Homo-oligomer: A and B are copies of this chain.
Amino acid sequence: MRVSQLFGRTSKTEGADYKIPSHRLLTQGGFIRESVAGRYYMLPLGQAVHDKITAVVRKHMNDAGAQEVLMPTLHPLELWKETNRTTTASFELMKITDRRGADFALGGTAEEMAVDLVRKFNVSYKDLPFNIYQFSMKFRDEMRSRGGLLRVREFVMKDGYSFGTEAQFKETYQQMWDAYKAIFTELGLQVDVVAADNGYIGGEYCHEFIVESEQGESRYFVDETSGYAAHEDVATFKVDAKNTDEELHDLKEVEAVRGATMEDGVQFHNLPLWQQVKDVLFFDEATKRYILAIIRGDFDVNETKLMQAIGAWELRPATEEEIREDLSSEPGFISPVGFVKKGVKSGHEVVVVADKSLRTVHNMYGGNNKKSADLLNINIDRDYKPDVEADIALAKAGFTCPDGGLLKEKKGIEVGNIFQLGYHYTNLMHDAEYTDEEGKRQKYYMGCYGIGIGRTLAAVVEAHNDGKGIIWPANLAPYDVYLAPLGESLEVIAHADDLYQSLTAAGVSVLYDDRLAARAGEKFADADLIGLPYRVVVSDRTLANDQYEVKQRRSQEAQLVAKDKVINMVVQSKED
């Protein structure tokens, strides 16, 4: 391909929103272009890489026995109603009605569609297990998109769905785990496999494949000694017992003219932070409930765990006005003790959720639901009874891993995930069954498996760049060689034309910078920005010794190579 004919120019424009290297490099390099926020065009260079990533994913999925299909983009909304996901995923589900009045969801994921397809067949135990997947555009009605391909509103996703018995599923899950490891290795990405939260997808457990990166939105914890790895949303840790040998003292109210923070409480009472009760009040708009989360003062509440514990999908902090007016309490002085549920003026229910850490302390202190009054010697069971007791604590770096070592915090880009769905969808959807050996109908056990192609592309760029440009892994580069003749000498151009033909004939793909008006510096800058594995320069100077200059993108040094050796050199490295 000649640069003069390539659609999509490089650009030096520094967009104000280029906060993320892959966003800047992919845009400046002419790989992508934004349509409106969160929606991108793939330009020819970007589409070429996108295709290569797709091919790698497809190969490993097929090798693992999965079969490619293609499902409709518009999902009959009644299917999503069958699993209640119009409620649970409503915040990012896009809906549309056709002119005959039929309602559809724009596919975000396709569990219901996969089940609906499978139940159209008379599946028997002999057909199990099977695993079907597709590449298709997925839609998320995100409130915020980020620059570039890391968090967008539509993107090509490889999504797969497996069907089998519970025993077969374990094998399939492992196959997908292994396939994903192989995929990301082939894509030049080092991934951590991290236990995570299933969210609105459903099921009991899942794993995310995360590329460590400063640009990532996923926070997770690893313990390198034990191999433990878990997303912040689900990470657990060992909670040390504090003063549980201390006798329980009598509950008493004291005057406490103090500020509203935890630190104010510590200062005022001169007692440790861990002995203080931390109270955080949320409101669940979907069910119109207040949720009072309480936890040991030295820990924070993990909202995802909290939502899991009570089956909520979105929470917002209660307002100061709600605390005062509706709950007759006081910000900074909320307490589960004497928290009169029936005192809620609006009639909304209040659910008290206690973290398990509250069992590790005796004689705690905290507010008393009015200004400037605290309670001392608060003890669970005796002074208050939570509605739900669960692990709702947020893990932090340095906490003790359940498996022994210390948790290390990482940030990264989630490029893939594998979900155990179990019977979640088969229980909710009718006829999600197969016929067993005895002719009985049985529910099948499911898993699902996703890889975002665009986000993976961005992750590759985050992992492989040097500020000046991208450094594509050889198997993903849109072309193998950036061929740059310098100057306008007819001899140089004739040699470059000839080399372009010869390389192409040898199966080497070439981006040929045939722009006469471009100066050497401009061509070198573009070569670095676009990031092909090899740059070959033809100039009067190289030709004087019957040579071309060859530079690998990942190396600092260029070398002069005899003209007739260049093709072999590039071909050989391609074959290695």
- Distance between Cα atoms of A94 and B73 in the complex (Å): 13
14 residue pairs bridging A and B, Cβ less than 8 Å apart: A4-B127, A5-B65, A5-B130, A33-B120, A39-B72, A41-B69, A44-B67, A44-B68, A47-B68, A47-B134, A73-B139, A94-B98, A99-B143, A136-B137
A69 touches which of B9, B42, B99 (Cβ 8 Å): B42
Q: Check: A132 CB closer than 8 A to any chain B CB.
A: yes
Q: With both chains docked as a complex, state the minimum distance between the C-beta of A413 and any C-beta of chain B, in angstroms.
A: 21
Residues of B within 8 A of A73 (CB): 73, 137, 139, 154
Q: Are B8 and A121 in contact (CB under 8 A)?
A: yes
Closest partner residue, chain B, to A73 (CB atom): B137
Q: Are A102 and B36 in contact (CB under 8 A)?
A: yes
B-contact 0/1 string along A260-283, CB 8 Å cutoff: 000000000000000000000000
Q: Are A43 and B69 in contact (CB under 8 A)?
A: yes
Residues of B within 8 A of A47 (CB): 68-70, 134
Q: Check: A305 CB closer than 8 A to any chain B CB.
A: no
- Distance between Cα atoms of A39 and B106 in the complex (Å): 13
Closest partner residue, chain B, to A132 (CB atom): B7
- A-side binding surface: helix, strand, loop or mixed? mixed
Which residues of A35-64 have CB atoms within 8 Å of chain B's CB atoms? Answer: 35-36, 39-44, 47-48, 50-51
Q: Are A41 and B67 in contact (CB under 8 A)?
A: no
- Distance between Cα atoms of A273 and B136 in the complex (Å): 58
Q: Are B137 and A35 in contact (CB under 8 A)?
A: no
Q: Check: A166 CB closer than 8 A to any chain B CB.
A: no
Closest partner residue, chain B, to A75 (CB atom): B35
Q: Check: A565 CB closer than 8 A to any chain B CB.
A: no
A72 touches which of B9, B35, B141, B143 (Cβ 8 Å): B35
Q: Are B35 and A113 in contact (CB under 8 A)?
A: yes
- Distance between Cα atoms of A50 and B136 in the complex (Å): 14
Q: Check: A382 CB closer than 8 A to any chain B CB.
A: no
Residues of B within 8 A of A99 (CB): 91, 141, 143
- Distance between Cα atoms of A521 and B33 in the complex (Å): 56
- Distance between Cα atoms of A7 and B67 in the complex (Å): 7
Q: With both chains docked as a complex, state the minimum distance between the C-beta of A534 and any C-beta of chain B, in angstroms.
A: 22
**Most chain B beta-carbon neighbours within 10 Å: one of A50, A72, A130:** A72
